[in-house]
Amino acid sequence: MRIAVTGSIATDHLMTFEGRFTDSLVVDQLDKISLSFLVEDLDVRRGGIAANIAFGMGCLGLDPVLVGAVGQDFADYRSWLERHRVDTASVHVSELRHTARFVCTTDSDHAQIASFYAGAMREARDIELAPIAERIGGIDLVVVSANDPEAMLRHTEECRTRGYPFLADPGQQIAWMDGAGIRQLVDGATYLFSNEYEAALTEQKTGWTAEEILDRVGTRVTTLGPKGVRFDAKDEPSIHVECAPEDRKVDPTGLGDGFRAGFLAALGWGLALERCAQVGSLLAAYVIETKGTQEYELGQRRFLERFAGAYGPDAAAEVAPHVRCPRP
């Protein structure tokens, strides 16, 4: 299955605050807020939603096509991704701007305060999908994840025009887009991904009910945090999948990207939605157990052992022929 993953490619600057943000907030003074937090450490990591998803897919043995815009400072990052089976030939390199930056501080409750510098990502709107499809012999699915809003709109419109199935995953960009833009992103999607808050915001901004959204998309996938994930399709019963247990909680950054990577990998293997969600949930557990979004390592044997422990030996037997982790 030829999957093109569009979206942000960025460098993550991750900091840890040992206290709680809420201890520094005065509710009736929020309109005058001016705070700084003394952090304990700084990790500079590779990130960006599309890159995180593509990396995870590569770790499971697929060859995803990464589509996005970066700066001249991308050379080392490109080599890293290519070593993990990611096709970067369709990444646009800006002559003027740096690769995007994500700056995030996480407190002891795993609450986060973050900012994002778009940089070269603004040029993603100049990328056309048709030449990419021609280069790789066709596209079976386009993932439209959070990116420059104009790029997201262009990609979804081109998918509808050219008949490319697409997965709409606007994420945090929903907060900044108006209802008309969100309707354009959602309409006709084969899959629509969001968390519970984003799902409610989508309905509020578009003016569509949950039922009306299901009239316009194939399958709606809603992540529920520690409660797992739910799949909804028109005239079909909902499917609920529990989270895979994690060994420890280190950093939640990129958790959703890991889930999407595992889901897409299993989808590429031709597995059913329930199994796709299970693979995604286990990969998400690996992400939360490490500092950074691409720092986990998958071992074939251990991955399947954990999968069997979480979802049973029959589920593991179904996944085992497909998993191709780089380590034994």
Residues designated catalytic: 257
User: Alpha helix (H) ranges present in the chain?
Assistant: 49-59, 75-83, 130-136, 149-162, 179-186, 196-206, 210-214, 255-268, 273-288, 300-311, 313-319
Q: Are 282 and 259 in contact (CB under 8 A)?
A: no
Surface-to-core class of residue 250, CB atoms within 10 Å of its CB (0-12 exposed, 13-18 middle, 19+ buried): middle
Q: Which amino acid is at 204?
A: Q
Tokens found for residue 131: 């030449």
Spell out the residues 6+ positions from residue 37 whose beta carbon is closer than 8 angstroms to its own.
17, 19, 21, 24, 105, 107
Q: Are 130 and 107 in contact (CB under 8 A)?
A: no
Q: Are 229 and 222 in contact (CB under 8 A)?
A: yes
Q: In Å, how far from its chain's centre is CA 158?
A: 21
